[in-house]
A and B are shown apart, each in its own frame.
Chain A
Amino acid sequence: MADFVKIEHLSKNFGDFEALKDIDLTVKEGEKLVIIGPSGSGKSTLIRCMNYLEEPTSGTVTIEGEVLSRKNRRELAKKYSAMVFQQFNLYPHLTVLENLILAPMKLQHVSRKDAVAEAMKCLKRVGLEEKAYMYPNQLSGGQQQRVAIARALCTRQKLILFDEPTSALDPEMVQEVLNVMIELAKDNITMVVVTHEMGFARQVADRVIFLHRGQIIEEGTPEHFFTNPENDRTKEFLSKIIH
């Protein structure tokens, strides 16, 4: 498989604080990568560097051979990546359907009719066709997040970034969102997922990386993390989140 995202010597400082320290990481096309690590370890910062929501202090992020920069970040976001946020970030002044068709119509210049048809397909995949003409505030958290996933799908991006997509949900809604993501993982989409849902990781991830204080200190298959993690910090972290 070809390299889809290539991260080299990536560092990110906030003032004096080093949130990421010289990260090297490659994500292959179609790969499902899960990022775990304690709070504040830099997971969000890392994933947000992949679509330039954070500007790297040094180092590069390359997507399909193109180095991300302030100049081309919009082009590359439009072409390759979509993001699903912890807080959903649906556009509250637009209906569910309008949330989905805005980018295809305005950025990809798809006709409204085609955009609607595609949006309905995406809503069907997340099981929310009947909510198309509702506003986000009428939906439960789990439903809102499924709409956000549909929004990420309907621009047909090859790379979808998930930053703790289930962390803001009530416990009973976590599974419905994970189920949608598990379904999605059967496609050839490249997925980078920050999550603490180890069940999900085990089922879906090709590879898991463990981030600690801005560095990747362990990586391997989900099996590796479950059966014989090497680093003491990894062990300690996993013992806390796996019950």
Chain B
Amino acid sequence: MLKGLFDLKRWTALIEVIPENYIPGFLMTLRTALAGLLLALILGVIFGLMSTSHNKILRAISRVYVEFFQNTPLALQVVFYYSCLPILLGGTGFRMPKFILGMMGVGIYHGAYISEVIRTGIEAVPRGQSEAAQSQGFSYLQTMAWIIFPQTLKIILPPLANQALNLVKNTSALALVAGMDLMYYTDSWATSRGYFAQAYFFSALLYFIMCYPLARLARYLEIKAIRQPVAKASLRKEIEEAVS
């Protein structure tokens, strides 16, 4: 193993396959992650809001979504979309594009987690805030937009960055259905040539490049969330102008 690790020939072989294997895989993973994150955010906001509404049915629907997708493996969900969904959709032999499959896989799965992040974020804002807003005549949406959500945002940004990080890593489940992603290319080259150490080390490096900035971002947001603003000096001039 160690001998194989330092074998120059194997590293050269790796470098040769970077353009045709690793770069398309990396880009596919990146694209899937970005689209999946967008989908996850949309689902997370919708179901997160539903879970804080006064309507029992909406709350129940959101609960079922969250519990179902949090408590079954992502790998199983992806395989399900790949093999069962086309049959359910009519069985015309249609195969979903891998990109869509990946986006759905991580998007729906992480949407469930993000929904919970958003629910707890909204619930962390004291009830008095929406009562004050309501007493001033703000509608539900106005209250959310100007009063609740800005306060929620500070609380939820760090866990959201963590979700994004996990989402990137979890795109690797796509390899199970030949998803043309980084993990898939890594696996296929590793097994075809037998250069496992090179294949996986390099792949790990590429995942790390995507994930590490997100980890730093999460940390930065955490620190920022704790800090309390003191004053807004920019208002001073405005006040002087308005009063004069």
Contact = CB atoms under 8 A, between A and B. Distances in A.
Interface in A66-102: 74-75, 77-79, 81-83, 85, 87, 89-93, 95, 97-98, 102
B139 A51 contact: no
B7 to A, nearest CB: 58
Contact of A92 (B137, B151, B235, B236): B151
A133 B136 contact: no
Interface in B122-150: 126, 128-129, 131-132, 134-139, 142, 146-147, 150
Contact of B231 (A74, A93, A138): A138
B72 interface: no
Secondary structure class of chain B's binding surface, majority of residues: helix
Given A134-B230, A135-B229, A120 B239 contact: yes
Interface residues of A, number: 37
Contacts of B139: 74
Given A106-B138, A106-B146, A133-B233, A97 B132 contact: no
Contacts of A243: none
Secondary structure class of chain A's binding surface, majority of residues: mixed
Interface string B203-244: 000000000000000000000000011111111101101110
Interface of B: 126, 128-129, 131-132, 134-139, 142, 146-147, 150-151, 154, 228-236, 238-239, 241-243
Interface of A: 51, 53, 74-75, 77-79, 81-83, 85, 87, 89-93, 95, 97-98, 102-103, 106-107, 113-114, 116-117, 120, 132-135, 137-138, 155, 161
